[in-house]
Amino acid sequence: MPRWLVAVGVLATAALLLALPHVLSFSQREVLVFMTINILVVCSYRLLTLTGEWSLGHVVMMGVGAYASALLAKKVGVFVPLAMLLGAFTAAMVALVLSVPLFRMKGFYFLIGSFAAGEIIRLLWKRFRDPFGGPKGIKRIDPMPDFDLGIWNFTFFDPVSYYYFALLVVLAGLFVMWRVEKSPIGLVFHAVHWQDNLARSAGISVRAYRTLALVLSSGFAGLAGALLAHYIGTVNPNMFDIEQMVYVLTWAIVGGTATFYGPIIGCVVLTVVNEIVLREIGLEQGRPMIYGMLLIGTVLFLPKGLEDLFHRLSRIGLLFSRQPRGGQ
């Protein structure tokens, strides 16, 4: 692709992302904030799947970040943006500890093990009122403080402001994950996923790299959790239960995990379906059913996810736009 085309694409996307909240209603703006945060969750989930392991504890890791950030801000009085980063770090460290027993397993056993580990963490939140607040969780979490950068005046109670803030954080996170995937580390992740024995024979510690992927992905999930906690001001154990995990899985599978943009497409399309289409026609109660049907339909008819549909469409577009070249 020519460089100017890339530049135009980036500028157009930036303009679209900046203008987007202004064409939406107030409640849709809130949904937009949630969707932005969810994109970080589902993309960080994909980072783990790069090494071939699928977890059912990812949303709980998001919760670890949310709880840690909330507690640090509320009980210790840590400056909120710093608390968010520490929340992400806490999630990464909890993942590092959990990786010790979990990566003694792989495949289906890892999946079930990660679910069990997540449930244990959720039970700890429920059991220990101090400091986790029990089943009701933590309320009145310190909001992100207002600030004024001259060109950008952040006011917490305006969803547009928080959307811009979350967008900035999420884009930074996506950028780091994208770079990791394109780096030699990403190559090793691929090697570990597709031929673990050949990778071992090349001197690669498969377990070390699966751990690295789990720790990084949990760290970014924790960051997303912290963003969420300081936006809605409350966290409780049910926000991070298996139902939420199934939504993340659905976004990832419907979007497809082979490309970086697959899960983003999945998250955006399903959020639009859910919040705009279903809510407009009053079918939001049917969300689990619709999601289930979409999941089955995707697996049956589009096993590589929506990304494959985009891929095919763009190829058709290229066929019409490009002169046929010899030998290609």
Partner 1 sequence: MSEALLEVRNLSKRFGGLKAVDQLNFSVAEGAIHGLIGPNGAGKTTTFNLISGFYRPSSGSVLLSGEDISGMPMHRIARRGLVRTFQHSTLFAELSVLENAVVGTYMLYPPQTFAALAGLRLSRDDAAKNRARQVLEFFGLLDHADELARSLSHGHQRALGMAVALASRPSIVLLDEPFTGMNPEETRGMMKLMFKIREAGATILIVEHDMRAIMGICDRITVMNFGRFLTEGRPNEVRRHDEVIEAYLGKSKQNA
Who contacts 61 (Cβ-Cβ below 8 Å, separation ≥6)? 91, 94, 95, 118, 217, 218, 221, 222, 225
Site string for partner 1, 12-41 (x = CB under 8 A): ------------------------------
HSE of 147, CA atoms in CB hemisphere, 13 A: 10
Name the minimum Å distance from CB 185 to partner 1. Answer: 4
180 part of the interface to partner 1, by CB under 8 A: yes
Taking the C-alpha atoms of residue 62 and residue 221, their distance in angstroms, rounded to an integer, is 4
- Taking CA atoms, 71 is separated from 102, 118, 145, 212, in Å, by 27, 19, 16, 26
Interacting residue with partner 1 among 26, 79, 152, 194 (CB under 8 A): 194
Name the minimum Å distance from CB 103 to partner 1. Answer: 13
Site string for partner 1, 196-215 (x = CB under 8 A): -xxxxxxxxxx-----x---
What is the rounded (10 degree) CA torsion for 287, 291, 297, 300? -150
184 part of the interface to partner 1, by CB under 8 A: yes
Name the minimum Å distance from CB 108 to partner 1. Answer: 22
Name the minimum Å distance from CB 207 to partner 1. Answer: 9
Taking the C-alpha atoms of residue 59 and residue 243, their distance in angstroms, rounded to an integer, is 10
In our burial notation (b when 16+ CB lie closer than 10 A, e otherwise), range 87-100 reads: bbbbbbbbbeebbe
Name the minimum Å distance from CB 221 to partner 1. Answer: 16
The distance of Cα 239 from the centroid of its chain, to the nearest Å, equals: 15
Interacting residue with partner 1 among 171, 176, 290, 309 (CB under 8 A): 176
End-to-end CA distance of the chain: 16
Taking the C-alpha atoms of residue 58 and residue 127, their distance in angstroms, rounded to an integer, is 21
- Taking CA atoms, 160 is separated from 10, 38, 88, 171, in Å, by 21, 16, 24, 16
Nearer to partner 1, 126 or 200 (CB): 200
Q: Which two structure tokens, joined as six digits, stand for 19?
A: 């203008």
273 part of the interface to partner 1, by CB under 8 A: no
Stretch that binds partner 1, among 17-25, 149-157, 174-182, 236-244 (CB under 8 A): 174-182
Nearer to partner 1, 200 or 311 (CB): 200
Interacting residue with partner 1 among 37, 56, 169, 191 (CB under 8 A): 191
What is the rounded (10 degree) CA torsion for 42, 48, 53, 56? -40
Nearer to partner 1, 27 or 205 (CB): 205
Is the separation of the CB atoms in 193 and 52 below 8 Å?
yes
Name the minimum Å distance from CB 67 to partner 1. Answer: 25
Nearer to partner 1, 13 or 205 (CB): 205
Nearer to partner 1, 171 or 180 (CB): 180
Interacting residue with partner 1 among 187, 296, 313, 316 (CB under 8 A): 187
Residues that bind partner 1 (CB under 8 A): 176, 179-180, 183-188, 190-191, 194-195, 197-206, 212
